[in-house]
């Protein structure tokens, strides 16, 4: 078992850190809001876990440091604060969905101090984190991944080493690009079915075992029809992820017309007050 530190106890990080405790690791946590660390201890600690007063204190002496933060600026601030505590042999795993450029920069900074780094964004949402069933896309050197993988197994159903530093973040961009198109297509199909006077349940029964099938269809069609949008990944976060993907596309010469259009549709939902609705709320723009 390893001595692990987890930085960031949001809706994703808190249960992920909890699974590390369940797996038998010695866990220290830190969150910018100390109250969240205290709440986490009362919910997940087995008597071995502890909280640190600062990020630098949290990582000192750890074998493995995991983080799950908000966006590039958040990651930069936290990693700048901990660099003075980095020691050779440590492995750092960042589960934040952030830019590939930042991942490569962090890898270089940590390598200069003899530490290793894996960019490891996740897919599966809050439910995946709470059930320990996340899909993790990893970028980093082979040695870093080999050291990180056994730790991540505590909360993952699938872990894939995509390539070198930044490749995990780029794979997550692919994930979000695909989801954007799928959710928009499902929204249009369901709205069409309702406008045509069809029973959505029967339509889904008919098409969900064929080529149109998707996770979004199986898990979101009913809540979309019912107008319930508090089931997962918020639009604010999806737009952040799409911004990162669109920036990367401009840098590598890719054209993402559908992703760019769906991003604007999400902006329309935000303007209607749906910032914290889940991504399936695209259908609200199509309702009569």
Q: What positions carry a catalytic annotation? A: 172
Element (DSSP H or E) covering residue 223:
helix 215-226
**Count of other CB atoms within 10 angstroms of residue 48:** 12
What is the dihedral angle through the alpha carbons of 135, 141, 145, 146, rounded to the nearest 10 degrees? 150
Element (DSSP H or E) covering residue 35:
helix 34-44
Residue with tokens 């994930």: 175
The one-character DSSP state at 234 is: B
């Amino acid at each position: 078992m390893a001595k692990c530190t987890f930085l960031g106890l949001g809706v994703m990080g808190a249960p992920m850190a909890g699974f590390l405790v369940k797996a038998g690791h010695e866990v220290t946590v830190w969150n910018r809001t100390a109250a969240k660390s205290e709440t986490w201890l009362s919910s997940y600690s087995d008597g071995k876990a502890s909280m640190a007063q600062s990020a630098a204190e949290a990582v000192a002496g750890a074998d493995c440091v995991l983080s799950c933060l908000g966006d590039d600026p958040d990651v930069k601030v936290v990693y700048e604060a901990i660099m003075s505590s980095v020691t050779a042999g440590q492995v750092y795993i960042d589960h934040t969905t952030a830019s590939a450029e930042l991942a490569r920069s962090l890898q270089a900074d940590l390598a200069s101090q003899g530490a290793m780094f894996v960019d490891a964004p996740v897919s599966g949402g809050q439910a995946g984190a709470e059930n320990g069933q996340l899909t993790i896309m990893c970028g980093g050197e082979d040695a870093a991944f080999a050291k990180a993988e056994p730790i991540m197994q505590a909360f993952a159903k699938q872990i894939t080493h995509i390539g070198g530093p930044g490749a995990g973040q780029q794979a997550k961009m692919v994930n979000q690009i695909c989801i954007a198109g799928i959710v928009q297509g499902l929204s249009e199909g369901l709205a069409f079915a309702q406008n045509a006077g069809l029973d959505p349940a029967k339509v889904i029964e008919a098409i969900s075992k064929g080529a149109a099938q998707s996770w979004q269809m199986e898990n979101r069609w009913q809540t979309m029809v019912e107008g319930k949008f508090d089931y997962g990944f918020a639009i604010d976060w999806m737009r952040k992820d799409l911004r990162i993907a669109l920036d990367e596309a401009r840098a590598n010469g890719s054209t993402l017309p559908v992703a760019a259009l769906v991003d604007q549709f999400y902006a329309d939902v935000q303007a209607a007050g749906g910032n914290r609705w889940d991504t399936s709320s695209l259908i609200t723009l199509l309702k009569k």
